[in-house]
Amino acid sequence: MNGEYWQPEIETMPREKLRQLQTEKLRRTIETALNSPFYGHRLGKLGITPQSINSVDDIRKIPFTTKQDLRDNYPFGLVAGNMKDAIRIHSSSGTTGHPTVVVYSRHDIDSWANMIARNMYMVGCRDTDVFQNSSGYGMFTGGLGFQYGAERLGATTVPAAAGNSKRQIMFICDFGTTCLHAIPSYAVRLAEVFKDEGIDPRSTRLHTLFIGAEPHTDEQRRRIEKLLGVKAYNSFGMTEMNGPGVAFECKQQDGMHLWEDNYIVEIVDPDTLEPVPDGEYGEMVLTTLDRTMMPILRYRTRDLTRIIPGKCACGRTHRRIDRIKGRTDDMFIIKGVNVFPMQVEKILAQFPVLGSNYLITLDTVDDNDIMTVEVELDDMRTDVYPELQKITRNIQRTLKDEILLTPKIKLVNKGSIPTSEGKAVRVKDLREGRGQNHAE
Amino acid sequence: MNGEYWQPEIETMPREKLRQLQTEKLRRTIETALNSPFYGHRLGKLGITPQSINSVDDIRKIPFTTKQDLRDNYPFGLVAGNMKDAIRIHSSSGTTGHPTVVVYSRHDIDSWANMIARNMYMVGCRDTDVFQNSSGYGMFTGGLGFQYGAERLGATTVPAAAGNSKRQIMFICDFGTTCLHAIPSYAVRLAEVFKDEGIDPRSTRLHTLFIGAEPHTDEQRRRIEKLLGVKAYNSFGMTEMNGPGVAFECKQQDGMHLWEDNYIVEIVDPDTLEPVPDGEYGEMVLTTLDRTMMPILRYRTRDLTRIIPGKCACGRTHRRIDRIKGRTDDMFIIKGVNVFPMQVEKILAQFPVLGSNYLITLDTVDDNDIMTVEVELDDMRTDVYPELQKITRNIQRTLKDEILLTPKIKLVNKGSIPTSEGKAVRVKDLREGRGQNHAE
């Protein structure tokens, strides 16, 4: 580390050299991937070997990998290393279909921690900072991911984990927290609780926020910055690609540098799957370049974004992606958790008293993101209040086990939820800046 | 590591050499501690320096440190190192009084991870094992403590975190979990859910359980072993002494080896504070020997145990402590969380509708530990059901913020809770093998 950069040579590497590095690392990645049952079969069939790659552009010879591929090969079909060398497993929420599983070697965990440290250093965090993490820990990558990265940087970490806003604020005040990792909706919530507690966040040492895992607009970011008196930096990551740390904003706050020494990024037209020119929106496709246990090649993220053309004033040569604009599937994110309507649907189907018609509404109430599931009762009398309460609680608990958060449940009479002619609208997103309705 | 032992030289060190090592490390610890405001003042006043220590027995020149000392010097009064070198903070639950805070340097975290790895290795865990951790993560030391230790060992870790039993069982089955860390009551709960799911735990690869953080009897351990078809090993630790890893059972399952290269253990009469002979019960007093950021000298743990006399068949020379038999204060442990009745009392006092009389009952229902708080209403009408429900929920939520678990609340009429002549009985523990009533 030196001045502005954590790893100056890598972060400011000339593009041509960076492409050479990518070519070499892609070859090594293919060599490793061939040891996994999944890629051994798929690439073997096509005769793809490290020698098939003469430049990064040859990546297009490799077929895409989809979430369905991960599900079909659950849990370890993509593991290329020896499981004896695995030191951690992370997974997405849920048991429906199958959760997405990622397996890490010690090298992979080290590489990931270094990536997070690089991001934190980039926006001015140093070993003198106190870093508080309000992510959930456990299988969710936002907890341990940032924990290891911040410790690598040498910051004093406060592993507060999710929830309990009063306690978060007590830690911020008492431990002199300077940097906080939070999902955007929770940052807004904290600002509210600061107000309730009669504490001005500006009177604390807090100066930097890392926000990610939830789509948000630049206006929302500016609002958070104003509410808490901090600079807020956007972060992109996903479990399949390790977790947080794939791309991160620099001090310019103008797009997220995607770390091209560790990932190859492509933006493709989601219909034709052909590459789109820089500056145009499309689906982001990512390839890992530094994973020894479970490399993933050309993963269709379903996230819509674009490459921001041009050089960044910060001097880093790694290209920038824009904020995530939406999804090409029906997944939505609430309180930092990825949810597919199918997960909700499969749980509801377990209750014989329920009909098959349901509607998920996402809304912001008092700066809190709320998920409401309206579902029609089949033919039961709807006036036995204690019984309805019991059913509601049961649904809530079962859904919580699946999606790891507790939605509001509204049981309604048969025929109450409008059915459209074509595809049923399953998700209504009324949250600011999100306004998408997902059809099934 | 070699055969039976992770660190053969240390684990089987002749007692005389071990005492020499302790003497040297105690001197270094005092030298470090003198840099903290708290010990600088307290030891300085008494003229205690490293030179005061000629043998381990000279530790008796040093005054005891109590939980109240930690509270009075919240948050960083015992920190002896430079905060720039701190990489993590853990703390106990709660905001009442002040939570207990421990600050760790990189050395301290490494030393702690090594201690956990030593424990796991001792009972047969190797880098080929899959280790699942059902502890809460975050500020609670059972999560990150075991995470770092198991990764140090090289096991494949599954950071499942607390709760969601169906998902825990899915991981055990799908990831081939062989070792599990759980509090005893949760291990029993998991056995129940296994049964509900129609899965025989003996059909999984699970063979080893680490149980701790909650007092339990040998009968309860045998029952857990039978229910899950595993060997279960008792673990002792506390946040003030890092967290888990202070003492651990070996394969003999006959007492927990307290790692004397890292801690000095004394057993004292809780009234006279004089040492009791080996084999006799008393309060355990612990001194850290390998912490650079925040050493603690002669900490009164309030835990009642004894040194088990004689040599252990395993060949380790570090002395063994017996199961914790009780406490010398009114703290109780439920679902692995330490709770002081005072924490509950201070929360209840925030609600004007409540009287000052309350009773906490701990009981086991359907293999689940339940905490019920009965509290008298002051003079409000007790028949407005929706209003009572609202108050109940408010109390529940506020208590959860404080003690991190959700108790059952029973609002009762004034005069319903019997008041005794002398000290009020605040806690009734009806759980198997715990049967203690705590007076205030």
Write down the domain spans for chain B: 8-329, 337-439
* Spatial contact of A103 and A294, defined as CB atoms under 8 Å apart: yes
Structural element, H or E, at residue A15: helix A15-33
Distance from B47 to chain A by nearest Cα, in Å? 31
Contact A158, A134 (CB under 8 A): no
Name the residue with tokens 């929420």. Answer: A93
**Which residues make beta-bridge pairs with A373?**
A360, A409
Q: What is the DSSP string of B282-299?
A: EEEEEEESS-SS----SE
Find, among A308, A248, A318, A323, the residue nearest to A278 by Cα. Answer: A308
Asked whether the beta carbons of A292 and A108 are under 8 A apart, the reply is yes
Amino acid A380: pLDDT? 60
Is any Cβ of chain A less than 8 angstroms from the Cβ of B411?
A: no
Q: How far apart are CA B132 and CA B208, in angstroms?
A: 11
End-to-end CA distance of chain B: 48
CA–CA separation, A374 and A364 (whole Å): 17
Pairing mode, if any, of strands A299-305 and A326-327? antiparallel
User: How many alpha carbons lie under 13 Å from residue A409 in its C-beta half-sphere?
Assistant: 23
Residue B25 neighbours by CB under 8 Å, 6+ apart: B261, B289, B290
Closest chain B residue to A86, measured at CA: B156
DSSP result, A383-417: --HHHHHHHHHHHHHHHHHHHSS--EEEEE-TT-S
Return left, alpha or beta for B80; rule: phi > 0 is left, psi -120 to 50 is alpha, else beta: alpha
Q: Can you give A53-117 as a three-state secondary structure string?
A: CCCHHHHHHCCCECHHHHHHCCCCCCCCCCHHHEEEEEECCCCCCCCCEEEEEHHHHHHHHHHHH
Measured distance CA(A47)–CA(A41) in Å, rounded:
10
Q: Give the nearest partner residue to A88 out of B85, B109, B151, using CB atoms.
A: B151
CB contact residues (below 8 A), chain B span 54-83, against chain A: 74-75, 83
Which CATH code fits B8-329? 3.40.50.12780
- The pLDDT, as a whole number, for residue B34 is 98
At residue A371, the pLDDT reads: 93
Q: What angle do CA B244, B247, B253 make, to 5 degrees?
A: 115
DSSP B368-394: EEEEEEEEEE-SS-S--HHHHHHHHHH
Residues 242 to 301 of A: which have CB under 8 A from any B CB?
Answer: none
Model confidence at B96: pLDDT above 80: no
Task: Say whether A128 and B174 touch across the interface (CB within 8 A).
Answer: no
Among the listed ranges A58-72, A409-423, B11-25, B71-85, which one has the minimum average pLDDT value?
A: A409-423
User: Could A139 and B155 be called an inter-chain contact, meaning their C-beta atoms sit closer than 8 Å?
Assistant: no
For testing contact with chain B, the best of A98, A175, A189, A385 (most B CBs within 10 A): A175
Determine whether the interchain pair B159/A151 forms a contact, defined as Cβ–Cβ distance below 8 Å: no
A139 touching B (Cβ < 8 Å): yes
φ, ψ for residue A88 (rounded to 5)? -155, 150
Determine the 3-state secondary structure of B111 from DSSP. helix
- Which has the closest alpha carbon to A382: A373, A372, A391? A391
* pLDDT value of residue A316: 98
Please list, in sequence order, all residues whose beta carbon lies within 8 angstroms of the beta carbon of residue B147, skipping any fewer than 6 positions away. Answer: A144, B133, B137, B157, B159
CB atoms within 10 A of CB B12: 15
Q: Distance from CA of residue B247 to its chain's centroid?
A: 11
In the sheet with B243-249, reading across from the earlier edge strand, the strands are: A101-105, A86-91, B156-158, B130-133, B179-182, B208-212, B231-238, B243-249, B256-258, B320-321, B307-308
- Residue B171: which of B138, B130, B211 has the closest Cα? B130
Most distant pair of Cα atoms in chain A: their distance: 71
What are A112-170's pLDDT values in tens digits? 999 999 999 999 999 999 999 999 999 999 999 999 999 999 999 999 999 899 999 99
SS3 assignment, position A148: helix
Q: Which member of B74, B143, B167 has the closest CB to residue A95?
A: B167
Write down the pLDDT at residue B434: 59
At B320, the amino acid letter reads: R
B137 in contact with chain A, both atoms CB, cutoff 8 A:
yes
Distance (Å, whole) CA B351 – CA A196? 17
pLDDT at B205: 98
Instruction: Tell me what pLDDT residue A437 has.
Output: 46
How far apart are the C-alpha atoms of A134 and B362, rounded to whole Å? 31
- Is 60 exceeded by the pLDDT of residue B438? no
User: Which residues of B are less than 8 Å from A142 in CB distance?
Assistant: none
Name every chain A residue with its beta carbon within 8 A of the beta carbon of B143: 137-138
Say yes or no: B170 contacts chain A, CB-CB below 8 A.
Answer: yes
- At the top level of CATH, the class of B337-439 is alpha beta
Tell me the residue type at B164: N
Residue numbers in B near A139 (CB within 8 A): 158-161
DSSP secondary structure code for residue B275 in this structure: B
- DSSP assignment string, A270-312: TTT--B--TTS-EEEEEEESS-SS----SEEEEEEE-EEPS--
- Nearest by CB to residue B75, choosing from A74, A89, A174, is A174
Sign (positive or negative) of CA dihedral A187, A189, A195, A199: negative
Cβ neighbours of residue A24 closer than 8 Å, sequence gap 6 or more:
none
Q: How confident is the model over B374-423, as pLDDT tens digits?
A: 998 887 665 677 788 888 899 999 999 888 888 999 988 888 887 766 56
Contact, B282 vs B267, CB < 8 A?
Answer: yes
The answer to whether residue B344 neighbours chain A at the CB level (below 8 Å) is no
Between strands B408-412 and B337-339, the pairing is unpaired
With 50 as the cut, is the pLDDT of residue B436 above it? no
Q: How far apart are CA B13 and CA A218, in angstroms?
A: 62
Residues 6+ apart with CB under 8 A from A166: A193, A197, B95, B401
The ipTM (two decimal places) reads 0.90
- The answer to which of A221-235, B34-48, B338-352 has the lowest mean pLDDT is B338-352
User: Any CB–CB contact under 8 A between B408 and chain A?
Assistant: no
Counted across chains A and B, CB pairs separated by less than 8 A come out at 105
B275 prior amide bond cis, ω within 30: no
* 8 Å CB contact between A291 and A29: yes
Q: What parts of chain A have a pLDDT lower than 70?
A: 1-2, 94-97, 380-383, 420-424, 433-440
Average per-residue pLDDT for chain B: 92
Chain B residues whose CB is inside 8 A of the A151 CB are 87-88, 106, 109
For B128, which residue in chain A has the nearest alpha carbon?
A84
Does residue B150 carry a pLDDT above 90?
yes
Element (H, E) at A179: strand A179-182
Contact A33, A271 (CB under 8 A): no
Interface test with B, best of A85, A151, A398 (most B CBs within 10 A): A151
Residue B201 per-residue DSSP state: G
CA distance B92 to B238: 9
Minimal Cα distance from A89: which residue of B?
B158
Query: Residue A249 in contact with residue A255, Cβ under 8 Å?
Result: yes
Q: Is the pLDDT of residue B167 over 50?
A: yes
Query: Using CB atoms, which residue from B128, B161, B174 is nearest to A139?
Result: B161
The per-residue pLDDT for B440 is: 37
Q: Is residue B429 within 8 Å of B437, Cβ to Cβ?
A: yes
Could you give the C-alpha distances from B200 to B164, B186, B197, B204, in angstroms and in order? 18, 17, 9, 7
Give the tens place of pLDDT for each residue, B312-341: 999 999 999 999 988 888 888 888 888 888
CB B222 within 8 A of CB B231: no
Tell me which residue in B106, B160, B174 faces A139 most closely, judged by beta carbons: B160
